[in-house]
Amino acid sequence: MAERPDIEETVRRLRAYADAGSDCLYVPGINTVEDVAAVVAAVAPKPVNLLINSPWTKVAEAAQLGVRRISVGGTLAKTAWDGFLQAAREIADEGTFSRFEQLPGIDVMFKS
């Protein structure tokens, strides 16, 4: 759907990919419940991979719609960069380091 907002054309293309043997169908740019439902129904039983890069749905809702896989692309990295830039601005503008408080310890991140 990226740069092609016509859901009917998107569904037509996805069906062609499914008919050609694709194992999982991926459509970036879907951001409504109605479009997700249409895509999942059109290619069933093939699994659909949903790219989520804004807070328009939740994991449970996507699963209820039949989505089998969720990707977030570079959005986690953008989230990290936002925190980085806020901390750097604080240091540059205020000369303080309050954003360094309550950070997770590196050991916590690697415990299983």
Instruction: Please report the pLDDT score of residue 59 as a whole number.
Output: 97
Instruction: Collect contacts of 3-9 with beta carbons under 8 A, ≥24 apart.
Output: 3/29, 4/29, 5/29, 7/35, 7/38, 7/39
Instruction: Please report the pLDDT score of residue 91 as a whole number.
Output: 98
Give the rounded percent of residues in the chain with a pLDDT score beyond 90: 76
Instruction: Please report the pLDDT score of residue 5 as a whole number.
Output: 65
User: Quick check: pTM over 0.85?
Assistant: no
Residues of the chain with pLDDT under 70: 1-5, 112
DSSP output for 12-71: HHHHHHHHTT-SSEEETT--SHHHHHHHHHHHTTS-EEEE--SSS--HHHHHHHT--EEE
